[in-house]
Structure 1
Amino acid sequence: MLKAVEKRRAHQDIVKQIRALIEKGRLKRGDQLPVERELSEIFRVSRATVREAIFNLEASNLVQRRQGDGTYVIASSEEALIQPLAAALFHEKDDIIDIFFIRKIIEPEVAQLASENRTPEEIDELEEILREQEKEVKSGENPIHTDSEFHHLMARMAKNRVLERLLITLVDLLGKTREKYLQTEERKQKSLHGHYEILAAIKNGNGKAARRAMRRHLEEVEKTLSNKKKGGGKRSPS
């Protein structure tokens, strides 16, 4: 399961081995890692090296140290796989058009999967989110939270954990940009209308229509982002 590591890059090898076990599902969310002393014996390194590896795993949101209790896995295998990609995206967070392009490729497919895998309960939840978004728009509020809820729920409805984590990362990464987009009354109405079109297609189980509706919705947002970039250079989404 775990084996000794080379001392010159010991903490990196420890991180790599534990990450691999999480990715393969051999270490699952909620599992407790061996205590520091045991890990130092398994890897044949100092306890300081083990602590450095655990610190790196914790910084990557793969494990959590609980004082007086131990270290526990907090990520699923899908989340462990998506973490390196998410980290890479955060390094490029000023290139919002590039990030949005990735989202435009992925989210129409997610909408189609959501229409194919929907449940009555999920449809009810989507409708409730849009009713709440409509109230926010009418009262002049910025509906960024209900907007996020809508896209997050659709990601879950696709029933693909890797796609779900990737899309949620992209949506959250573009949070500030989306919040700015939703500042005008016209854009709030367009966003709400786009969501209702997507919902109608998903509710009818029409995957191709859901895909098209999502693409139209994203292209409307992209048009605004492109105009802003031409007028003021790169802008950070967060």
Structure 2
Amino acid sequence: MRLRQINIATSYQEVFQQLESAILKGSIKIGETIPTEAELCRIFGVKRSSVREGIRLLEQSGLVARGAGRRLIATAPATDRTSENFIRSATLNAVTLRELWRVERELEALACRLACEVARSEHLDRLAANIKETRRSAGDPKATTRLDMEFHRLLSQATGNRALTIARDPLGILLYASTDFLIARLDQSTGRLITAHENILAAIRAKDVDLAVLWMTRHMDDFKRGCTMSGADFDQPISDFVDHETLAALIRAQPETSLP
């Protein structure tokens, strides 16, 4: 790990930037301890207050956490933190439901293609268990929303592609936080959702890429049609109708790591 003395005027920012760079480059590996405050003061040639402020920024970024004995350990940002940052940015930039849906539609089709190639039996079993629970939870909009989100997360995990999972998790959470109003207003929506999930899973089991993508595309198009039938303007910013209670619950429900 190579660190250098820094400019006093921006000392806490440079403490943060140098340690961030060391973690991202792997000079400090995930799980390794960070030097103590006293050691960092000596290495950087700055006061303890600058080191503490730099460390605070690292903790906010999810790049370090307190381990045994209060020692700082390098960590990968939790998925809920990644989702919150994406959701905040999408909301502030007035991203519309149409924009979000178009990207999600393509990512879900890609997930089907990749899952047909590499999904293992345990992945398929988890998807089947999810569908079974969704059927039992019919009539409970919040449970259906949570299980729908889980199905698509399990599908992305089945691809074995970490880039896909990181990309679609926050996008999916924001999109599916809006399904409360859809499922509550349309009695048939849960049944159609289950049918789509069953056919997607059957196609993936059979390694039929075209059929899996076809059913996923129908599923995503059905979501759009349901939104329109319920009176939603597809060109509204997502923040205008997203259920924030559901959104918070979906973020909290993410596993500590949902990567393959």
Contact 2:145–2:177 (CA under 8 A) maintained in structure 1 = no
Structure 2: distance between partners of 1:13 and 1:111: 43
Of 47-56 and 170-179, more deviation after overlay is shown by 170-179
Aligned to 2:110: 109
SS at match of 2:56: helix
Q: Which amino acid is 1:234 matched to?
A: P
Offset at 1:128? Answer: 0.9
Contact 2:86–2:171 (CA under 8 A) maintained in structure 1 = no
In the alignment of these two chains, the number of paired residues is: 232
Of 143-152 and 219-228, more deviation after overlay is shown by 219-228
Structure 2: distance between partners of 1:176 and 1:63: 29
> Structure 1 pair 33/118, CA: closer, same or farther in 2 (3 Å)?
same
SS at match of 1:182: helix
Offset at 1:130? Answer: 0.5
2:7 corresponds to 1:6: yes
Aligned CA-pair RMSD: 2.8
Q: Which amino acid is 2:85 matched to?
A: A
Aligned to 1:16: 17
2:186 corresponds to 1:187: no
Contact 1:64–1:71 (CA under 8 A) maintained in structure 2 = yes
Identity of aligned residues (%): 26
Structure 2: distance between partners of 1:19 and 1:224: 44
Aligned to 2:156: 155
> Structure 1 pair 225/64, CA: closer, same or farther in 2 (3 Å)?
farther
SS at match of 2:72: strand
Aligned to 2:174: 173
1:1-238 equivalences under 5 Å are 1=1, 2-66=3-67, 68-75=69-76, 83=82, 87-93=85-91, 94-97=94-97, 98-137=99-138, 140-142=139-141, 143-183=144-184, 184-225=186-227, 228-230=231-233, 233-236=236-239, 237=242, 238=244
TM-score (norm. length: structure 2): 0.77
> Structure 1 pair 89/136, CA: closer, same or farther in 2 (3 Å)?
closer
Structure 2: distance between partners of 1:231 and 1:102: 14
Offset at 1:68? Answer: 4.0
Q: Which runs of 5+ in 2 are unaligned?
A: 245-260
Per-residue deviation, residues 169-226 of structure 1 (Å, max 9, x unmatched): 2122334213333223211112112211211121111223322322221222133445
